[in-house]
Amino acid sequence: MTTASRQKGLLVVIAGPTASGKTSLAIQIAQHFKTEIISADSRQFFSEIPIGTAAPAVGQRGGIIHHLVGHLSIHNEYNVSKYEEEVLTLLGRLFTRHKVVVMTGGSGLYIDAVCNGIDALPDPDVQLRAEMEERFRLEGIGGLQTWLQALDPAYYNVVDVNNPMRLMRGIEVCLQTGVPFSQQRKAEPKERPFATLKIALHLPRNILNQRIHQRTDQMLKAGWLEEARAVYPYRGLNSLNTVGYKELFAYLSGEWTYEQTVEKIKTNTRRYAKRQMTWLRRDAAFNWIDATQPEKAIQEIVELIGKAMERGS
């Protein structure tokens, strides 16, 4: 836990890989402390794609207010800097009526931005970005992956290697500054007017993979393909450049059979979950909780929150 001199509350971060049960646990914790939830899932921000991002529907929220879920359109420009600013402003209001606020999601970069702040990095270079986009056009995602891995293997190991915008940003910063992006992201955390308690959920890989497969099937039954078809005309948007939609767009364009598409989604989601775990493990501040027994996990989290509040009182 980190504490600021002007502490006004405790931000409880509940993170974990996709399909680990974060949303359900966060809702129960929020109910226990009669508080509200802020989403740290960068895919759930967009209102047009709730099924494929597993965004909690209003009826699934247990009466808890959820912030930053479906608050944007896929056509809106949004980034982690805007998120940091928006959440800090929001927390300023929430801590006037709650001692505890819950944040949950699997987007590590967004969690880091709120808890530690974003390092000052150079603005995008138009000419360099054009060169990278041309390489992406000629060589595909593999060209960007090879480029970034050569420049900054440490960042390559934690970034979403299937997201060309993230890859290009990493390459861009390395080339503009002459210093690996990973080294520039290790600045001292910025002081915050609240304390933080970080919780990470763990599941054995075989159980997590099984849950990923089951949830993929459930989302498809719930109309995920129809959702993807509705946004297919806008498939070039960065907001849709994410696991699941890319595969469904490939199916809709006739590249794969339906069976191949489903298998690709499951495989790439497993890989995404592995990258999320890599990201979380690099942060020693996380308290790891076994999520195989939800009731026990909730009890452990409540106890951790209680101890954190005692230390901050």
Q: What is the pLDDT of residues 216-263, one digit of tens each?
A: 999 999 999 999 999 999 998 878 988 999 999 999 999 999 999 999
- With respect to residue 220, please indicate whether it lies within any of the assigned structural domains: yes
By percentage, how much of the chain surpasses pLDDT 70?
Answer: 94
- Do both 66 and 15 map to the same domain? yes
- Do both 62 and 88 map to the same domain? yes
Instruction: Say how far residue 210 (Cα) sits from the centre of its chain.
Output: 21
Range of the domain at 175: 126-184
* Domain count of the fold of the chain: 2
Q: Say which range, 84-98, 113-127, 256-270, has the weakest mean pLDDT.
A: 113-127
CA atoms of 200 and 16, how far apart (whole Å): 5
For 246, other C-beta atoms within 10 Å of its C-beta total 18
Indicate the residue type of 7.
Q
- With respect to residue 154, please indicate whether it lies within any of the assigned structural domains: yes
> Has residue 269 got a pLDDT over 50?
yes
- Do both 83 and 203 map to the same domain? yes
Phi then psi dihedrals of residue 11, to 5 deg: -95, 120
What pLDDT, on a 0 to 100 scale, did the predictor assign at position 111?
Answer: 94
Question: What average pLDDT score do residues 63-86 get?
Answer: 93
H or E stretch including 269? helix 258-281
- With respect to residue 93, please indicate whether it lies within any of the assigned structural domains: yes
Q: Is the dihedral of CA 119, 122, 126, 129 positive or negative?
A: negative
- Do both 108 and 159 map to the same domain? no
